Structure 1
Amino acid sequence: MKLLPAPWRERPGLRPLLAALEAAEGQTRFVGGCVRDTLLGISVSDVDLATRLQPEEVMTRLKRARIRVVPTGIAHGTVTAVLSDGPVEVTTLRRDVSTDGRRATIAYTEDWREDASRRDFTINALSADPETGEIFDYFGGEADLEARRLRFIGDPLTRIAEDHLRILRFFRFHARFGQGEPDAAALGACIARANDLMALSRERIADELLKLLALPDPASTVALMVDRGIFAPVLPEFGADGVVRLVELIRREQAADEAPEPVRRLAALLPPDPSAAAAVAARLRLSKKVAKRLVSAAARADEQAADPKELAYRLGMEGAIDRLLLGDDSAAAKVALLRSWPIPRLPLTGGELIKLGLSPGPLVAATLQAIERDWIAAGFPPEEDRLRELAAARVEKALSGNG
């Protein structure tokens, strides 16, 4: 099998980059996802190269070729070539000297098979000659791709011991590329070593989890992980009820033609309890913005009777859609309504109320809030006369002491 022509292979600047790294002489190959995804007919966004050249030599050659290069991970053999339409990572062939489940000490090598053997799954260990398209497959990755089967390279327990994150990566890649039951040896190793996840940084766990939840439909894989206790050491809040909520949410997202949203899906897996969501957000060290969204979604009540426009005005479009989709099966129509409705702003200020006779102070703010409530209840009328009526009525009450 050969790597077929694909748009990404004609990226501006890629040919000069390959020439600088002597790809025609066998010094550099395409590796990893760009090879795998091209064989599967999937669009490729990230291009990675592996090379026999040492990192310093790569830097020197690219500078000589007037290609901007950044030493993004030079201590581990990786530099980034910055092309006009995006970066290309270039990594020197490596072998592991030692590992501790979180990081590896590496040494450089010129052996392509040795470098491929340190990768996690057979389908990720494929490489291709940029000139001829010849595929190099040392561990049966092509057959696994054809069978939509995900296997570790070598002994699964050993590979997990090298990097505990591979437990979560196994399930994410199975959800994306696999079909049918997972590989029994790989699944057994992940179950046996699930407690190893406790040794990982919570940021790495969060990153991998959100990538899994961003896939089109990861529900069956998440259900398997919950059932087999994979999440229990680090996210014991996940349970069978959460899986049911996730399945319902994905169905509603599809009905509403909404793209997968990992934070919303994470909220579905958690109990509808803001304090629990806040605890998980802190544990996973989510950003303030993401944590706020998660807690808001977890605060959902029965939104069936809620006015979707009022929700959007109060929570913002993102927060309202989260609440509606996590609510009930009426969500699709309500989301469609919101998508065609620009959220308005109350066209009134405290200064205008002062002009109507109110004295500056707390009464102005209280009256403005009351007018806003009336305006929302009236359906956000855009007419200036209608707003003037609402304002006049509230100002009159405030001046009479009945507001």
Structure 2
Amino acid sequence: MDIDFTPQDEAFREEVRAFLDDKLSDRLRDGARRTPGVFVEPDIGLEWQRILNEKGWLASHWPEEDGGTGWTPVQRYIFEKECALAGAPGLSVLGLKLIGPVLCEFGTPEQKERFLPRILSGEDYWCQGYSEPGSGSDLASLKTRAVREGDEYRVDGSKIWTTHAHYANWMFCLVRTDSETSQQKGISFLLIPMEQDGISVTPIVTLAGDHEVNQVFLEDARSDASNLVGEEGQGWTIAKFLLENERGGSAHAPRLLADIAKLRRRLDEEPSGTNGALGQDPVWTRDLAKLKLKAEALEFTELRILAELAKGRRPGPQTSLVKLVAANLRQDVDTFAMNLAGPDGLQLPAQRPLYGNEAPEPVGTVDDQLAAGRYLNSRAWTIFGGSDEVQKNIIAKTVLRL
């Protein structure tokens, strides 16, 4: 595989760097740096989203005719890598990389016209109604029920681990529309407005003290029949398409490598207490070198997938491999940072956000203040988007043919 960038790719990278130098403010960089959770708060994320939308650089995973950037897979990767190196906030994937591509692929012209522009502008903020109590990894056993009544659906059930449901005004939701057929065939994909009496949101605060996820209760909730994506019973097919984007639609290696580079700089600055900096200690440098090699191997895997995408092929089961490796490596990097912080890493402030005028003062450095929160939050990486066990089963069946 030829992984050398073309002159056009090199020119695009320089354009991205110049744009980031000009438009990515210190406030946005600082807010992103001081966020211990997976998602930045909407005040930071939506501000960056509006800047990218004005530039026309937002929907890199959408077809150009639906408002996408028209970038090649390699250009998408370059953009994500440069954003990671510059410390840009991560955008919420729920609208841009999950429901957006679903509507581009399966939505009616009316649904595209209604929802896609509002995803780009940030007017609609989305959450994902997939997991339920007792139906997480076994998603096909979900019980949330949608019954057609005239021109609308009545929805009853519960969804859990629903990221940013407390901010969202729309949910894309898997619902059971037929309980008589097999589990997968009875599932449909429905868009549900959140701002109605039939929906209540209960916060779930993580061990790290972050409020990112929630439980959502639907009791006689309503959604117009025009909000059904695809046909009744097509939800499982659409869900698999979306999960391919969730598990493999993002480039994980660039941000991991950027975090590892920061740890390397800190090793070179942190006194060892005996002689020189920790960067001269062979144990610390060996362990960090192992993490870097794993991240570089992951980057090559992601580049191979990009090469397949550039040929018009679907990413397929390789996305499960990327998700599995990236999730565990994310945890290993955050564990290294926690160990490096030492006793100062034990602080776990309850205030949020950790940026701005009201942010608490750190004990030691800002990185020390964030260490425990990031370590605890990253425990979820091997669960959300499909647990490690699910990914291993997919790899065993579809790759190894076991």
State if a TM-score over 0.5 links the two structures: no
User: Per the shorter chain, which TM-score range?
Assistant: under 0.3
TM-score, scaled to structure 2: 0.25
User: Which structure would you say has the larger RCO, counting Cα contacts within 8 Å and 6 or more residues apart?
Assistant: 2
TM-score, scaled to structure 1: 0.25
Task: Give the number of the structure whose alpha-carbon radius of gyration is greater.
Answer: 1
